[in-house]
Chain A
Amino acid sequence: MDLLSLKEHNTRSLLIHYRWDVEKLLTVLVEKGKDELCAEAGVTILEHEELVSTLIMCTICFEEVPANSATTMDCGHIFCNSCWTEHFIIKINEGQSRRIICMAHKCNVICDEEIVRLLVSARDPNLADKFDRFLLESYIEDNRKVKWCPSVPHCGNAIRIDDNDLCEVECACGLTFCFKCSSEAHSPCSCLMWELWSKKCQDESETVNWMTVHTKPCPKCFKPVEKNGGCNLVSCICGQPFWYEYIENDLLGSLKWTSHSIAPYMSDGAGKASELTDCQGL
């Protein structure tokens, strides 16, 4: 960002605001100019004179502190370091590391990350690390062109694409996924269609429920068989006839049916044909 001659934290704030879309940022710069560009993103680039007075009254805690224990933010608001630190800790814990704004009412300026890091690490070094991690992750999470690999467990990789977001990518861990919807590669079907399909597949559990209630497994091939009418003698598509109710009462327990119920039908060819036409298996 030499072009704008900005400090690192200002550049980062700008990029976060424009979701790391450098082209868009440049368009805004050309169309509206640098001031507008920065103002929209809450970035101030004023220079401030060093304060000379030795004691400063912090308007947050109302304590008088030496000037070297107070910090002026880019917007010119000055508060004591202890109040700043508390403010930063609260904001980081609220998950707002990317946009910690000044404490002054209606001041929209984003705090200098160097100052945040410095003050927070003095009180809670772990939290300062967390802050750094959040800032790094912003490059991925706020960026339209970069995405975490959706592998489970997470392989730790992120993938960046160049222009077309309608593509399938392969992560270094070997997982192939659709960049747009993060689900497994599904071309040529659209993301919407894929989502509907996945949903349908998940809904399969309902089908299983229905099958337990309405079908019986064939004693020979174990496929589920639905009795769609007629008497209790049904025939599976594998050709195996069986006694529907009997199975229910003595589920696959014994195969006694072979000895009695079926026999009359088996011997009577005409009867069997007529009975079995309406006893189709599934």
Chain B
Amino acid sequence: MANSNLPRRIIKETQRLLSEPAPGISASPSEENMRYFNVMILGPSQSPYEGGVFKLELFLPEEYPMAPPKVRFLTKIYHPNIDKLGRICLDILKDKWSPALQIRTVLLSIQALLSAPNPDDPLSENIAKHWKTNETEAVETAKEWTRLYASGE
């Protein structure tokens, strides 16, 4: 369906993602729909998500690159900017999107968000509150969730 008439940009980006993947990130298009990507991000070292393998889905809407890709975590994750449905609060996925950004840059930004949770701009109120009142404990929970849900099996 969407595979016919795939814009050159998407083809090029896909080729580059497969040939030179960014460190700790893998993204491959689904066979049925070249606009749908299965993504894996490794938890960054020195973050509570270290050692975890996080699955995400990424979809390029019809308007891409004039509109941002839709990205969502499939793996459960304890993070103040990610809600229980896996939706991500990240400016470049909303109003700060620029068509000059790419799938690669979006995924790198998400990886960076794992290293630097921002409880001041929360998506999950409860997790953000936990983070602000007792960071050590919140980080422990995040590590626990990484062990439980993102151990890569």
Which A positions have Cβ atoms within 8 angstroms of B? Answer: 59-63, 77, 79, 83, 86-87, 90, 103-107
Contact = CB atoms under 8 A, between A and B. Distances in A.
A105 B101 contact: yes
A79 B9 CA distance: 13
Q: What is the predominant secondary structure among interface residues of chain A facing chain B?
A: loop
Contact of A106 (B7, B67, B98, B99): B98
B98 A105 contact: yes
A61 B6 CA distance: 11
A62 B92 CA distance: 20
A90 B100 contact: no
A87 B66 contact: yes
Nearest to B102: A59
Contacts of A103: 98-100
Interface residues of B, number: 16
Interface of B: 7-9, 12-13, 63, 65-67, 92, 96, 98-101, 105
24 contacts: A59-B100, A60-B9, A61-B7, A61-B9, A62-B8, A62-B9, A62-B12, A62-B13, A63-B9, A79-B100, A83-B99, A86-B66, A87-B66, A90-B63, A90-B66, A90-B67, A103-B99, A103-B100, A104-B98, A104-B100, A105-B98, A105-B100, A105-B101, A106-B98
A60 B8 contact: no
A56 to B, nearest CB: 14
Given A83-B99, A87-B99, A104-B100, A61 B8 contact: yes
